[in-house]
Amino acid sequence: MPERVSIQNIRTGSYRHIDVRPLAGALGAEIRGVDLSKPLADEVFAEIRQAFLDNLVVFIADQDITPQHQCDFARRFGPLTRHPFLKTMEQYPEVLLLKREKDEDVQVIGRRWHSDSSFDERPPMGSSLYSKDVPPYGGDTLFCNLYLAYDMLSAGMKRLAESLTVVHSAVHYATAKAGGAGLTVLPDAAKEAVKERVHPLVRIHPETGRKALWITGLDYGRRFEDMTPEESAPLMKFFQELATQELLSCRYRWSRGTLALWDNRCTQHLALDDYLGFRREMYRVEIEGDEPFGPARPKNAALLRAA
Give the C-alpha distances (Å, rounded to integers) separating 252 from 34, 135, 203: 19, 13, 26
> CA angle, corner 197, sides to 196 and 199, nearest 5?
145
Summarize pLDDT for 1-43 with one digit per residue, the tens: 444 445 666 666 689 999 999 999 999 999 999 999 999 999 9
- Rounded to an integer, what distance in angstroms lies between the CA atom of residue 282 and that of residue 286? 13
- Residue 10 falls within a domain, yes or no? no
> Considering the domain boundaries, does residue 8 fall inside one?
no
Q: Is residue 7 part of a domain?
A: no
Residue 1 in domain: no
Residue 174 in domain: yes
In the prediction, which pLDDT does 190 show? 63
The predicted pLDDT at position 2 comes to 45
* Residue pLDDT, tens place only, 44-53: 999 999 999 9
Is residue 2 situated within a structural domain? no
Average pLDDT over residues 213-220: 93
Which residues belong to the active site?
A: 114, 116, 269, 284
Query: How many domains does the chain contain in total?
Result: 1
Tell me the residue range of the domain where 288 lies: 19-306
- State mean pLDDT over 187-212: 88
Residue 61 lies in a domain: yes
CA 169/CA 220 separation, integer angstroms: 5
* 224, 236 contact by CB (below 8 A): yes
Q: What is the pLDDT of residue 243?
A: 98
More confident residue, 180 or 173: 173
Can you give the pLDDT at residue 299?
78
CATH code assigned at 154? 3.60.130.10
CB atoms within 10 A of CB 202: 27
Question: The pTM is what?
Answer: 0.92
37 domain-assigned: yes
**Around 271, how many Cα atoms within 13 Å sit in the side-chain half-sphere?**
19
Q: Residue 204 half-sphere exposure, CB side, CA atoms within 13 Å?
A: 18
Tell whether the torsion through CA atoms of 177, 179, 180 and 184 is positive or negative.
negative
Query: Taking residues 145-151, what's their average pLDDT?
Result: 98
Res 141: pLDDT: 98
